[in-house]
Chain A
Amino acid sequence: MLIRRPNDIRSSEITDRALYLRRRDFLGGAAAFSISAAMPLGAAAASLSTIKSPLSTEEPLTPLKDVTSYNNFYEFGTGKNDPAAHAHTLKTTPWKVKVDGLVAKAADYDIDDLIKNISLEERIYRLRCVEGWSMVIPWIGVPLASVLERMEPQGSAKYVAFETLVRPSEMAGQGGIFQSLPWPYVEGLRLDEALHPLTILAVGLYGEPLPNQNGAPIRLVVPWKYGFKSIKSIVRISLTEKQPPTSWNLQNPNEYGFYSNVNPAVDHPRWSQATERRIGAGGLFVKRQPTLPFNGYAEQVASLYAGMDLKANY
């Protein structure tokens, strides 16, 4: 039996276009001021001025309403709609990020100082969740490399560890007797992964500061890895010599490795990773699409893993 699409023009594309045009208006209107120079990130409804990036994909964007209503952010609950429902309680101003470990300039940085004078870029990336769905999101952020280089990592630094805020009073999923994960949520990258040009610290999406449910005010985006590597609401960045622990690996080491590169050839023990469903791409009858090695970024990042057995280092 064939499943026919009701229509060749997908409703999501129409929505996308409207949002796309709106976003351009924002860019034009916002040209007079630069967020990185003058505006605190927490300023409500501030549109962000960005430059475009050749690293962006030209695939149709996932509609804003899906990007902001379908989230895994267990600090606000395990349901997909929980973050959108509960994240408004999170206060993102002021926001400090502790930078420590093997760096010359270890300190508690205000978020604005952390990314000061680094041009905000729009990076339209695919995001592939380990659960088998994907989105295309127009992030706004800065290369992580630009931030790290400013901190002057020592020669002995080999990894970067990240930590999410723990604040049960504002994060509904961290309260109560039933905890889905140990807090804080922690993630990590090898230093060369962290310094790769594709890796960014995002502070916005769709032309606006990050909504809380998407990891405000600052989150990691590593597009060739499963989504859970892209840690949200970061409060600490540490340079380390040893491979840092990562939350999902701690929770279930057989299912989630340190690398967690998108790989259609290595199944999650409980489900296949061969295909994915693009969220917001046309309703009930849209088909799954093949998942690409490194989420389609193999050309840029495969060399990072030359000689490594990716089945063993999943």
Chain B
Amino acid sequence: MSPSSLYPASIARLALGSDPVRRAIYIAGMTPAVWYFYCGLVDELGADPQKTLERVLGLWALRYLIACLSITPLRRLRGPNLLRYRRAVGLLAFYYASLHLGVYLLLDQGLDLVAIWADIVKRPFITIGLMAFVVLLPLAATSNAAMIRRLGARWQRLHRFVYLAAVAAAAHFIMVVKAWPPEPLLYAGVLSALLLFRLRFIRKRVAAPMRGRNNLSMRQAN
């Protein structure tokens, strides 16, 4: 992939038209949600079905967020270029976050607005979880070709907030559990690695002109 495809206009071009792979990603991506809702309806979600459903939907949201954030590092590490599927994966993360929130509001709390409000203002883990969702909202709303065109360079700046959402989501997961079970820490670890990679890359990019000159001089020396 040429560097020009990084620019918003190229992404917009990629996003236009129908792509069977992308469609397959949406369908496959939503399968766990459909499956778990089905299990819930036939009472096969175990002893505490609301909690289980809430948990698996939140987990999938986090998984898709991590997958979404892995696409650029994968490309930098000379892996496959999946950039054209990033929007689908990011939107899946948003859909799962919405379902996770919906299950909390409707099935867990029974839309008890007083209890929900108390949770939001008094429970840091709920506050942070909701914050992650609120951060994802404008990102999801601008995940279309028209908005990419309209926002231009600002689109990319806006979409960097996905890192904030991911950090908040991982913190939300750690804070909801008792003691230190391994699973939330594992997710936080993978996310930290992705963030570190990103920071390293940014630093490299800042230093890039300098290194480019060095390379040139080395080539000349050879």
State whether A270 touches B50 (Cβ < 8 A).
no
State whether A283 touches B119 (Cβ < 8 A).
no
Minimum Cβ distance to chain A for residue B24 (Å): 29
Q: With the chains together, A283 CA to B180 CA distance in Å?
A: 29
> For residue B109, which residue of chain A has the nearest CB?
A288
State whether A284 touches B45 (Cβ < 8 A).
yes
State whether A274 touches B179 (Cβ < 8 A).
no
| Chain A to chain B: the 3 pairs with minimum beta-carbon distance, closest first | A70-B47, A78-B181, A66-B47
- Collect the chain A residues with CB atoms within 8 Å of residue B123's CB: 270-272
Interface residues in B175-201 by Cβ distance below 8 A to A read 175-182
State whether A70 touches B46 (Cβ < 8 A).
yes
- Collect the chain B residues with CB atoms within 8 Å of residue A32's CB: none
- Collect the chain B residues with CB atoms within 8 Å of residue A274's CB: 115
> For residue B52, which residue of chain A has the nearest CB?
A80
Interface residues in B40-73 by Cβ distance below 8 A to A read 40-41, 43, 45-51, 53
State whether B179 touches A133 (Cβ < 8 A).
no
The answer, among B43, B47, B110, B111, for a CB contact under 8 Å with A80, is: B47
- Collect the chain A residues with CB atoms within 8 Å of residue B48's CB: 70, 80, 133, 277, 279
A280 in contact (CB, < 8 A): yes
A1 in contact (CB, < 8 A): yes
Dominant secondary structure of chain B at its interface with chain A: helix
- Collect the chain A residues with CB atoms within 8 Å of residue B43's CB: 11, 283-284
- Interchain Cβ contacts within 8 Å, total number: 76
Binding site for B on A (CB under 8 A): 1, 3, 11, 66, 69-70, 74, 78-81, 130-131, 133, 178, 180-181, 248, 251, 267, 270-272, 274-275, 277, 279-280, 283-288
Minimum Cβ distance to chain A for residue B42 (Å): 9
The answer, among A69, A70, A180, A277, for a CB contact under 8 Å with B50, is: A277
State whether A284 touches B53 (Cβ < 8 A).
yes
- Known: A180-B180, A180-B181. Is A275-B175 also a contact (CB below 8 A)? no
Minimum Cβ distance to chain B for residue A249 (Å): 13
Minimum Cβ distance to chain B for residue A12 (Å): 9
Q: With the chains together, A288 CA to B49 CA distance in Å?
A: 12
State whether B47 touches A1 (Cβ < 8 A).
no
Q: With the chains together, A164 CA to B108 CA distance in Å?
A: 33
Q: With the chains together, A237 CA to B41 CA distance in Å?
A: 45
State whether A1 touches B181 (Cβ < 8 A).
no
Minimum Cβ distance to chain B for residue A68 (Å): 10
State whether A284 touches B107 (Cβ < 8 A).
yes
